[in-house]
Structure formats: structure tokens, C-alpha cells
Amino acid sequence: MAEMPNKKQINMVLPNLNMIAAAGNNLELGYQNRLLCHLPKDLKRFKEITSGHTVLMGDRTWESLPVKPLPNRKNLVLTLNRDADYKNCQLLYSMEEALEVLAKEPKAFIIGGATVYKLFLPYTQTLYLTRMLSDFQADAFFPAFNEDEWILKEDEFSPKDEKNAYDLRFQVWERK
Ligand SMILES: NC(=O)c1ccc[n+]([C@@H]2O[C@H](COP(=O)([O-])OP(=O)(O)OC[C@H]3O[C@@H](n4cnc5c(N)ncnc54)[C@H](OP(=O)(O)O)[C@@H]3O)[C@@H](O)[C@H]2O)c1
């Protein structure tokens, strides 16, 4: 008999939930709670894609932001620390609470870091992934994901230039 699809797994993807990240050849994301490099081209794209929407990040990524909150976006921050006293963002204290809030947003983006990407990837419908075509020293990595479960909808090559030190691929992956 054919195996029944796992209904719980199918239902848990939120159609309004997106993820956006920039990762190196080995899915490197960050080092010592900082991004790996400064890429104006990618920051511009990040701003264009996420502006006007809701963004959710982990406590460590919030701490690392040079400008808080990210302007023109509803900022959600996940933490276990009930004493956290961050201004101009909505604090969420568990996955369950976060998913409940995210489900009600018209369009939301998971913006990192490594821990939060891993937690929310199973719930994500669309993944905006900038591939930085280089190896980096890193201590934070994007979770390995099974490309067979996704369709590569866009894959735009962008060569390095005087302001952006690495060749990039701007990819959009849609969950099948
Ligand atoms: N390349 C990129 O696109 C990109 C994007 C974003 C970030 N980054 C990089 O990623 C690195 C940071 O990643 P990270 O994994 O260390 O930190 P993170 O994912 O930003 O935040 C982790 C924090 O989230 C909170 N948390 C995790 N699970 C939780 C849960 N189930 N319930 C409630 N709170 C929870 C905890 O905060 P508390 O400890 O306060 O409880 C935990 O310490 C940095 O290097 C950053 O630069 C890269």
C-alpha cells in the first residue's frame, strides 16, 4: 500500500512565510556574531524585498544590527530571555508563539541567524538565498536543505565589482 503523506508536515508550511539569507560556498553565514562581508548590492536587495513587511530574527541577530529596528518593517525578535528590554520591536518567547504571530501577518520574512533559520526552515514557503561564491571562515551556517524539495525559480548571476568583493547568485527557491 502506498504510504500516506504526512499531513502534519504538509500543513505546517506557512504560505506567507519567506526566508532571506546570504551564504558562502559552504553555507557560511557569519563569524563572531557579524556578517562575513559588506555587500551593498545584497543589502539593497534585502531592503527592497523585505521593506513594508514583517521580519523575524533571533536575539543574537538583533544584537548585531547596526540600526535597530530595521526601518519600514515590523521587527519581531525571538528570545528565551523574559528580562530582555528591547525597544521598537515585538518580543516572542517561543516557536509556538512566533508561528502563531507569523501566521497572521500578510507577508513575513525570517532574517536569521543560524539558529532561527534552522528552526523555521520547515515552515518556510519561499527562500531568497544569495550565494556568495567564495569560502569564508565562519562559526554560523545556514542549515543544509534538500534541493529535491524545492524548485529553483530564479538564479541571477551578479559579478563582483569595486564595491562588492564576491561574485553572487541571487536565487529564489519555492517549496514544491
Ligand atoms: N548571512 C546572513 O544572511 C545572516 C543573516 C542573519 C544573521 N547572520 C549571522 O548569524 C549569526 C547569528 O546566528 P545565531 O544562530 O548565533 O543567532 P540567532 O539565530 O540570531 O539568535 C539565536 C537566539 O535566538 C533565541 N532563540 C533561539 N531559539 C529560540 C526559541 N525556540 N525560543 C525563543 N528564543 C529562541 C535565543 O535568544 P536568547 O539567548 O536571548 O534566549 C538564541 O540565543 C551572526 O554571525 C550573524 O551575523 C547572517
Asked whether residue 171 is domain-assigned, the answer is: no
Domain count, the chain: 1
In DSSP terms, 127 is beta-bridged to: 19, 173
Report CA(22)–ligand 1 centroid distance (Å): 15
Q: What is the pLDDT of residues 103-144, one digit of tens each?
A: 999 999 999 999 999 999 999 999 999 999 999 999 999 999
Q: Can you tell me which atom of ligand 1 is nearest the CA of 57?
A: 20
Q: Does the Cβ of 21 fall within 6 Å of ligand 1? A: yes
Average pLDDT over residues 149-163: 98
Asked whether residue 5 is domain-assigned, the answer is: no
Residue 10: predicted pLDDT: 38
Q: Does the Cβ of 134 fall within 6 Å of ligand 1? A: no
Lowest-confidence region among 1-5, 52-56, 72-76: 1-5
Give the range of the structural domain holding residue 93, as residue numbers without chain letter.
14-29+37-162
Residue 8: predicted pLDDT: 45
Per-residue pLDDT for 7 more than 80? no
Per-residue pLDDT for 155 more than 90? yes
Lowest-confidence region among 7-16, 54-63, 74-83, 165-174: 7-16
Per-residue pLDDT for 3 more than 80? no
Q: Does the Cβ of 112 fall within 6 Å of ligand 1? A: yes
Report CA(90)–ligand 1 centroid distance (Å): 16
Q: Does the Cβ of 113 fall within 6 Å of ligand 1? A: yes
Closest CA to 142 of 32, 23, 35: 23
Report CA(40)–ligand 1 centroid distance (Å): 22
Asked whether residue 157 is domain-assigned, the answer is: yes
Asked whether residue 168 is domain-assigned, the answer is: no
Per-residue pLDDT for 5 more than 80? no
Q: Does the Cβ of 171 fall within 6 Å of ligand 1? A: no
0.85 exceeded by pTM: yes
Per-residue pLDDT for 33 more than 50? yes
CATH number at residue 24: 3.40.430.10
Asked whether residue 41 is domain-assigned, the answer is: yes
Q: What SS3 string covers the chain?
A: CCCCCCHHHHHCCEEEEEEEEEECCCCEEEECCEECCCCHHHHHHHHHHHCCCEEEEEHHHHHHCCCCCCCCCEEEEECCCCCCCCCCCEEECCHHHHHHHHHHCCCEEECCCHHHHHHHHHHEEEEEEEEECCCCCCCEECCCCCHHHEEEEEEEEECCCCCCCCCEEEEEEEEC
Asked whether residue 174 is domain-assigned, the answer is: no
pLDDT grade, residue 11 (50/70/90)?
Answer: low
The residue with cell 541567524 is 113
Pairing of strands 124-132, 168-175: antiparallel
